[in-house]
Amino acid sequence: MRKIIGLVICMCLCFLFFSGTAAAEVDYEHTYSDVSGDVGNSDIDITSVSSTESGANVVLTVVVAGTIDTTTASYMIDTIVDGVSGYTFIYSYGVASGTVSVDSDVSGSTLTFTVAKTALGATTSFDINYAQTSDSAYNMDFAGEGNGNGDNGGEETVDPSTETPTDTSISITMSIDFDYEEGDTTVTFDFSASGTTSGVHHCSLCSVTYYDDGTTEVSDWADGPIPEYTWGGVTFKFVSTSDSDWKTWEYSYNGTMSKSDWEGSEWEEEGKEATKTIIYVRAYSDSAEENWNQASKTVTFEEGGAVVTNGDGENGEKKEEKGFIPGFEVALLIGAIGISAVLLSRKLPGRRGK
């Protein structure tokens, strides 16, 4: 499976835009199979993913060829509610989380998530978008309606630099911080993007990676909030830090990994190397995402690290520069791999091409 490159600001994808009571005609019964043996670790080798109605709840089930790993692996199901991206549920390192309240249970090769139908808020349809698993070595497997194994016909994300904000009265700022400490055998790192808004419905993150051959890759948008979760040994979150009004917000990931894994990471894709990534944050005043403004940071890769600058001066941004940051390039790649559990820079059905 090819290495996922675009910074994902990724996670995955957790959406909290729906409310109401599920209508009786909604079909919650879906099952998708996956070929066994397509990933080396049987404990993350998905054989099936399914959903079923159980009284007032919906039960989501992942079955693997081996045994559910409660200590070093992560399991995730993303859903489609009323034809668009719905909610995401994660069981990582023995802890369950989701964009709405969820209970989990593990029995041998089977993991179940139980969530109230009223929390899902489906009125016309419900389906499984995809399931994804990952171990501490970043091996992954996929299954579901949009199983992540190629181009499933989803709408391409538009490069944010080509779009014009629809409401510049919305204020939005972003700063980037990164720290890492190198020990004898391990590297500990902490990446964060944070900022302010004038008070909005929600924020989203996206990145555009530029390669030395002139091509670019645009990630999907990660819509907040994304509750804190651990994936591949790295802890992620994208949340409002001022109640739910997003007047202050934070995206972060941090963790500790072996020095050999850290130094063995490479930011390249099929022989081409990334030269820079532009990270965008977009603030929406409405759930329909019709009114928005955005800010950006540019991360330019250099030998052994990176230089971070503000965006291109649009929307009143002042161009400033952070000094050379050792290890930053590798940290972005680690974030891209981990948050892919939520974002999957591949375009899946149900994803919005903004």
The reported pLDDT for the residue numbered 187 is 77
Q: Give residue 352's Cα distance to chain centre.
A: 14
Spatial contact of 177 and 252, defined as CB atoms under 8 Å apart: no
Look at residue 305 in the predicted model and tell me its pLDDT: 52
Please give the pLDDT value at position 307: 54
Distance between CA 200 and CA 171 in Å, rounded?
Answer: 9
Whole-angstrom Cα distance, residue 78 to residue 15? 10
Report pLDDT for 222: 79
Residue 313: predicted pLDDT: 40
For residues 60 and 112, give the distance between their C-alpha atoms in angstroms, rounded to a whole number: 5
State residue 216's pLDDT score.
86
Classify the phi-psi angles of 285: left when phi > 0, otherwise alpha if psi is within -120 to 50, otherwise beta.
Answer: alpha
**Domains of the chain and CATH, by start:** 30-143 (2.60.40.1190), 160-339 (no CATH)
Q: Note the pLDDT of residue 332.
A: 54
Q: What is the mean pLDDT of each run of 10 residues along the chain (354 residues)?
A: 34 31 71 89 94 96 96 87 79 84 95 94 89 80 62 60 95 84 82 91 87 83 76 76 90 79 54 79 91 89 55 43 46 45 33 37
pLDDT value for 3: 35
The reported pLDDT for the residue numbered 200 is: 94
| Tokens 């879906």 found at | 30
